[in-house]
Structures are given as structure tokens and as C-alpha cells.
């Protein structure tokens, strides 16, 4: 997934204490490499894409990603002819 992101991309969310958490996108890559495991039950759906010229946003809902369920919002820019994610914000759903 790393090639889809700008090297200057960011990721932000809200933790269990309702505090802002995040920073450079490398933090996401580090967590995926160390803590997340692929599961055959994992599901993902592109819920919405909105494109205006060289700017776009996408909502993706995932379920059972190492036991977690997320809603991700990606902001993309088309730079030198290629789409790159420049920011990701997310919501972690509580277990039902």
C-alpha cells in the first residue's frame, strides 16, 4: 500500500480517550508491519468516491482487519499524472 501514499502524507484519528492521535503516514506502515495480520475473513468496500479535477476523496469501510472495523477517509491529489493519498483520517468502530 505504501506506493499509493505521498511521502508527505499524514494519518489522524481519535483514540479511546477522545484525543487526537497520528502524524506522518510512516506510523501506519509501522503498525501494519508489526501488529496487523491478514485474515481471510477481512472485508473492504469502497463506499464513495468524489473527484473534482486533480482532487479526490474516498470513503472505505473495512471489517475484521486483525479484529478491528474501520471507516477510512482518504484525500488524494493527482500529481504529475498520478493519484497519491495525501491524508487519511479514520474512525475505529467499537465492538458490537
Asked whether residue 61 carries a pLDDT value surpassing 70, the answer given is yes
Asked whether residue 38 carries a pLDDT value surpassing 90, the answer given is no
Asked whether residue 87 carries a pLDDT value surpassing 90, the answer given is yes
Domain count, the chain: 1
Q: Check residue 79 and give its pLDDT.
A: 96
Q: Which three cell numbers stand for residue 13?
A: 484519528
Q: Check residue 96 and give its pLDDT.
A: 60
Q: Please give the order of strands across the beta sheet that includes 82-92.
A: 20-24, 5-14, 82-92, 68-79, 55-65, 43-52
Give me the domain span that covers residue 18.
Answer: 2-92
Asked whether residue 55 carries a pLDDT value surpassing 80, the answer given is yes
Q: What is the CATH number of the domain that holds 70?
A: 3.10.450.50
Nearest to 30, CA basis, from 16, 11, 43, 15 = 11
Residues 10/87, Cβ–Cβ less than 8 Å: yes
Q: Enter the pTM of the model.
A: 0.88
Q: What's the whole-number mean pLDDT along residues 47-54?
A: 98
Amino acid at each position: 500500500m505504501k506506493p499509493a501514499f505521498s511521502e508527505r502524507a499524514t494519518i489522524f484519528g481519535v483514540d479511546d480517550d477522545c484525543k487526537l492521535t497520528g502524524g506522518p503516514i510512516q506510523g501506519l506502515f509501522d503498525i501494519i508491519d508489526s501488529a496487523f495480520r491478514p485474515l481471510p475473513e477481512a472485508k473492504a468496500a469502497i463506499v464513495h468516491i468524489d473527484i473534482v479535477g486533480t482532487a479526490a476523496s474516498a470513503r472505505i469501510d473495512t471489517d475484521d482487519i486483525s479484529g478491528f472495523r474501520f471507516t477510512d477517509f482518504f484525500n488524494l491529489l493527482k500529481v504529475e499524472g498520478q493519484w497519491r493519498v495525501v491524508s487519511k483520517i479514520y474512525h475505529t468502530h467499537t465492538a458490537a
